[in-house]
């Protein structure tokens, strides 16, 4: 009798396991079947319901997206069951915004980028989260292959901390007008800190834009416009450039990141539900159980890593 009961229990566990697997697959399939346009509509409906009065693409809308990504400022939104869908949309929106500003912009007198309004293209809006996830994985595979083929020796201790810290503290809130200022300025500022700390520009040219991540530079041309590489301003491209010569490390554990990081390293962040890393900062100082971080969007020179919430994955580049 005991043997029959044991077999029945085992069979129940077996069936339950497959039902769980099917349920998980179904949930993931539903997530992947949403288009970015559909998720944007969900977000806009929420914003209207709560009286935000924000128009997609305006400066106020972009500021809301950045604040929500970095701080989960709207707690009610952050607690929604579909928040991971919205975070996937936020991450892609900021990525496309940075690309747009890097590729096409009007330069104001203070070098602030003037984009008027920015919306995702119809092509991106019609793309499902699953299709974009596949596209991102393919991009990352290609970049990983390029890194392997390049066979560049890794190096550490490449940054003069005194100079880099001095720059970070000076310009974290008063932007250096020698550079453009982007709506999503985090990677632009990290690149400036690395350059101030002695990292050499790579692949400088007078071409308007260089997308090859072997390059890393920004340079003012005689007509006062800028020539630059996407790796100077785009979160994922900076990482792809740096890990050609530096060691990268990723984890979902803050304690593991702290253990493996050091002062002078670059750190990047990814939200739960998102398929892209969307934020970058620079490690101003490593403490025994914390990191103090410098960055733009939002502006800090010594923000506590432990105080940052809402992100689920982290990666560092050992400088």
Q: Between 234 and 1, name the one with better pLDDT.
A: 234
Spatial CB neighbours of 241, under 8 Å, sequence gap ≥ 6: 202, 213, 214, 215, 216, 229, 231
pLDDT value for 150: 62
Q: Between 297 and 231, name the one with better pLDDT.
A: 231
The whole-number average pLDDT for the span 70-79 is 95
Per-residue tokens: 181: 């200022």
The whole-number average pLDDT for the span 250-272 is 97
pTM (2 decimals)?
0.83
The span from the CA of 264 to the CA of 159, in Å, is 7
**Same domain as 139, residue 205:** yes
**Same domain as 17, residue 125:** yes
User: Among residues 80, 95, 129, which one ends one of the domains?
Assistant: 129
The whole-number average pLDDT for the span 148-155 is 62
pLDDT value for 162: 97
Confidence at 8, pLDDT banded by 50, 70, 90: very low
**pLDDT tops 90 at residue 119:** yes
User: Among residues 65, 97, 129, which one ends one of the domains?
Assistant: 129
Work out how many domains the chain is built from and give that number. Answer: 2
**pLDDT tops 60 at residue 105:** no
**Same domain as 10, residue 68:** yes
The span from the CA of 83 to the CA of 75, in Å, is 11
**Same domain as 162, residue 196:** yes
**Same domain as 36, residue 146:** no
**Same domain as 138, residue 54:** no
The whole-number average pLDDT for the span 76-105 is 91
Q: Which of 100-104, 266-270, 314-318 has the lowest mean pLDDT?
A: 100-104
**Same domain as 193, residue 157:** yes
**Same domain as 134, residue 110:** no
**Same domain as 114, residue 146:** no
**Same domain as 152, residue 49:** no
Range of the domain at 125: 2-129
**Same domain as 261, residue 149:** yes
Helix 59-71, helix 83-103: angle, nearest 10 = 130
* Reduced 3-state DSSP string for the chain: CHHHHHHHHHHHHHHHHHHHHHHHHHHHHHHHHCEHHHHHHHHHHHHHHCCCCCCCCCHHHHHHHHHHHHHCCCHHHHCCCCHHHHHHHHHHHHHHHHHHHHHCCEECCCCEEECCCCCCCHHHHCCEHHHHHHHHHHHHHHHHHHHHHHCCCCCCCCCCHHHHHHHHHHHCCCCCCCCCECCCCHHHHHHHHHHHCCCCCECCCCCCEECCCCCECEEECCCCCEEEEHHHHCHHHHHHHHCCCCEEEEECCHHHHHHHCCCCCEEEEEECCCCCCCEEEEEEEECCCCEEEEECCCCEEEEECCCCCCEEEEEEEEC
Q: What is the pLDDT of residues 31-62, one digit of tens each?
A: 999 999 999 999 999 999 999 999 999 999 99
User: Among residues 129, 146, 169, which one ends one of the domains?
Assistant: 129
pLDDT value for 309: 87
pLDDT value for 206: 76
**Same domain as 268, residue 135:** yes
Do 213 and 231 touch, CB atoms closer than 8 A? yes
């Amino acid at each position: 009798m005991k043997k029959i009961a044991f077999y029945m229990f085992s069979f129940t566990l077996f069936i339950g396991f497959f039902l769980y697997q099917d349920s998980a697959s179904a949930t993931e399939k539903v997530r992947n079947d949403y288009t970015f346009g559909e998720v944007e509509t969900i977000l806009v409906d929420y914003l209207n319901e709560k009286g935000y009065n924000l128009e997609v693409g305006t400066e106020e809308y972009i500021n809301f997206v950045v604040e929500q990504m970095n701080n989960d400022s709207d707690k009610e939104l952050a607690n929604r069951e579909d928040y991971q869908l919205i975070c996937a949309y936020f991450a892609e929106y900021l990525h496309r915004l940075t690309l747009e500003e890097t590729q096409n912009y009007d330069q104001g007198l203070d070098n602030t980028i003037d984009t008027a309004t920015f919306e995702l293209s119809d092509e991106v809006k019609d793309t499902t989260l699953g299709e974009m996830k596949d596209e991102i994985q393919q991009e990352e595979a290609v970049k990983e292959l390029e890194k392997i083929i390049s066979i560049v020796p890794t190096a550490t201790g490449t940054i003069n901390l005194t100079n880099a810290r001095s720059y970070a503290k000076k310009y974290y809130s008063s932007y250096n007008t020698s550079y453009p200022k982007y709506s999503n300025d985090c990677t632009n500022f990290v690149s400036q800190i690395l350059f101030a700390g002695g990292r050499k520009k790579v692949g400088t040219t007078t071409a308007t834009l260089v997308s090859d991540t072997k390059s890393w530079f920004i340079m003012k041309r005689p007509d006062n416009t800028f020539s630059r590489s996407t790796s100077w301003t785009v979160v994922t491209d900076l990482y792809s450039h740096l890990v050609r010569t530096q060691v990268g490390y990723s984890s979902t554990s803050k304690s593991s990141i702290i253990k493996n990081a050091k002062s002078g390293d670059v750190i990047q962040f990814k939200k739960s539900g998102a398929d892209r890393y969307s934020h970058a900062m620079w490690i101003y100082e490593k403490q025994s159980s914390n990191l103090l971080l410098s960055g733009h969007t939002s502006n800090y020179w010594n923000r506590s890593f432990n105080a940052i919430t809402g992100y689920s994955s982290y990666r560092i580049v050992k400088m």
